[in-house]
A = this chain, B = another copy of it.
């Protein structure tokens, strides 16, 4: 396992890549859950998203989200903690992330954003 995964600089973040990244239902769910979690701890680890898809499939989506500059990964022991790159995204594309997240929240049931994710269960306790 390489120590710190590749992240693009703020200026390297491209609009089409971000939009494409967010257009996938699984990745949109991940981003949505990360946004919800910001009110609590701002970070989640990969395992919190088991239930959304298989581990290798999730790793694929995590890599995409990272490489597109949407989220950042921090390695801690055997865990990888992830958070949204809110400031960078806001600097590059003002209002975009919130518009997407709010739209996703509005359509939460339609998008099935809440299904199969440990995070929501934990939060509702």
Contacts and interface: CB of A to CB of B under 8 A. Distances in A.
Interface in A87-122: 92-96, 98-100, 102-104, 106-107, 110-111
Interface size class on chain A is 20 to 34
Contacts of A95: 95, 98-99, 102
A72 to B, nearest CB: 20
Interface of A: 14-17, 19-20, 22-25, 28, 92-96, 98-100, 102-104, 106-107, 110-111
Given A15-B111, A19-B100, 10 more contacts: A14-B107, A15-B104, A17-B23, A19-B23, A20-B20, A93-B100, A94-B99, A94-B102, A95-B102, A99-B99
